[in-house]
Amino acid sequence: MKKTALYLSHLLNPAMLALVIFSLQGLRNDWLVGGMGICAFALMPGLVLLILVRLGYLDQVYPEDRHKRGILLLLGTLCYTLGWVGLYWLGATLLVLVSAATFVVSTLLVWWVNRYWKISIHAAGVGGAICILLVSFGGVAWPFLLSLPSIAWARLYLRVHTPAQIGVGAVLGAGSAVLLFMGFGLL
């Protein structure tokens, strides 16, 4: 069971979610925009994380220490912001730009909460990703709703979060996505 929980944690981390989102949006809209999204929202943050582990700054991919998590969240925000600028420069659609902005805003909000209390980054990512996929692709994305109970189970099973940390993370991710899509008239 532990291997399954770890597998789900890796499969449903923010970089993998970004890979899915921007791959699908790229296929639907523009392969260059999708490629930019994949690079900036999946590959760059993943590479930064692996470099920090390799250099010994982090002893694991998902650090427990809130200070180290905070630094990772700020580095992720930097990657996402550069990605948003790149997408804007490439002339990405409003849907893609708001999807990208969801990553920026959610990550900053998680960073802020993380300063005071441990929140589930995974649950925030899944909550936001569900909203992005449902807005982007409609009802065909409904099976992705199953990712929320899956990541909740995995993070609880691994004993790295409480139900409250997972719930708040999911609400923060989904709520920020919904507010951004509503604010730009896409929902």
What totals of helices (H) and strands (E) does the chain contain, helices first? Answer: 9, 0
159: left (phi over 0), alpha (psi -120 to 50) or beta: left
Q: Express each pLDDT in 31-51 by its tens digit.
A: 999 999 999 999 999 999 999
How crowded is residue 108: how many other Cβ atoms within 10 Å of its Cβ? Answer: 17
Structure tokens at 173: 């991710």
Per-residue pLDDT at 59: 84
Handedness of CA 110, 74, 34, 179 (dihedral sign): positive
Per-residue pLDDT at 124: 98
Per-residue pLDDT at 29: 78
CA dihedral in degrees (28, 138, 20, 106; nearest 10)?
Answer: 120
Q: pTM of the full predicted structure? A: 0.94
Per-residue pLDDT at 161: 96
Q: What distance, in Å, lies between the first and last C-alpha atoms of the chain?
A: 38
Amino acid at the residue 77: T
pLDDT for residue 9 is more than 90: yes
* C-beta separation of 14 from 121 below 8 A: yes
Q: Express each pLDDT in 71-113 by its tens digit.
A: 999 999 999 999 999 999 999 999 999 999 999 999 999 999 9
